[in-house]
């Protein structure tokens, strides 16, 4: 499986997810459009796609112009049944590309290691069924998917109903959390926004590092099998 990986900034690489995908037999084609690397005009040369996170907003196309062709690729993936996973910003881009809306969380930034609130639909989902047991994940975000696109299936949500994961189309998934993040990545994120909340988030990730690796390492295998 040749996987197109869209990376939006240096601080959000594929990291652990990339390792898991390679271990599952995938070949990664990582594109960094913020460094001037072009995105393909379509997905005919790729078997799957991963769209990673970043600090920008899902509607910031005017400032980050590669977001527009990224959304076009997401629409193509949905139309042509190309397996696709969006992570944090990538999750939000998929929602916007397919007709949903994204905006600020009413409760402000979510930072730390939080419970994943799986729904009943997750138990039979082609990607996350094997993962849909009690587990925690890294949340580091301010924006959320507020209105899902038509036909999307909710796979996980907080106790207050905030969307954590969705299947946007039969082969397009998004997760608001960061399964890929390493402790070193979180250190750099915390350094960019010093304060008690980021400090507490970093401590939580450090204490849960082994748990998080065990919880999400099968995600690469599950994605490669879709």
Taking only the tens place, the pLDDT of each residue in 15-34 is: 999 999 999 999 999 999 99
How much is the pTM? 0.97
pLDDT tens column, 140-174:
999 999 999 999 999 999 999 999 999 999 999 99
Report the catalytic residues: 88, 178, 180
The DSSP secondary structure of 6-52, one letter per residue, reads E--STTS--HHHHHHHHHTT-EEEEE-GGGTPPPPSSSTT-SEEEE-
At 194 the pLDDT is 82
Say what the pLDDT of residue 109 is: 83
CATH code assigned at 84: 3.40.50.880
Q: What is the pLDDT of residue 106?
A: 83
Which stretches in the chain have pLDDT values below 50?
none
Q: What confidence score (pLDDT) does residue 74 get? A: 98
Query: What is the pLDDT, as a whole number, of residue 108?
Result: 80
Of 14, 10, 20, give the one whose Cα is nearest residue 213.
20
User: What is the model's pLDDT at position 107?
Assistant: 83
Find the helix or strand (DSSP H, E) in which 190 lies: helix 183-192
Per the structure, how many domains does the chain have? 1
Range of the domain at 107: 2-224
């Amino acid at each position: 499986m040749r996987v197109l990986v869209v990376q939006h900034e240096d601080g959000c690489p594929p990291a652990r997810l990339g390792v898991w995908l390679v271990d599952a037999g995938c070949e990664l084609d990582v594109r960094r459009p913020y460094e001037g690397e072009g995105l393909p005009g379509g997905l005919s040369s790729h078997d799957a796609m991963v769209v990673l996170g970043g600090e920008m907003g899902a509607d910031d196309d005017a400032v980050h112009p590669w977001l527009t062709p990224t959304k076009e690729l997401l629409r193509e993936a949905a139309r042509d049944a190309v397996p696709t996973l969006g992570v944090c910003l990538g999750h939000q881009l998929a929602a916007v590309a397919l007709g949903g809306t994204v905006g600020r969380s009413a409760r402000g930034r979510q930072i730390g290691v939080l419970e994943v609130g799986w729904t009943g639909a997750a138990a039979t989902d082609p990607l996350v069924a094997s993962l849909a047991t009690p587990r925690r994940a890294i949340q580091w975000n301010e924006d959320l998917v507020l209105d899902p696109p038509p036909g999307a299936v909710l796979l996980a949500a907080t106790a207050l109903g905030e969307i954590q994961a969705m299947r946007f189309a039969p082969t397009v998934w998004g997760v608001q959390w960061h399964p890929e993040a390493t402790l070193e990545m979180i250190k750099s994120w915390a350094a960019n926004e010093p304060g008690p909340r980021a400090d507490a988030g970093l401590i939580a990730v450090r204490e849960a590092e082994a748990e998080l690796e065990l919880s999400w390492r099968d995600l690469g295998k599950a994605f490669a099998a879709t």
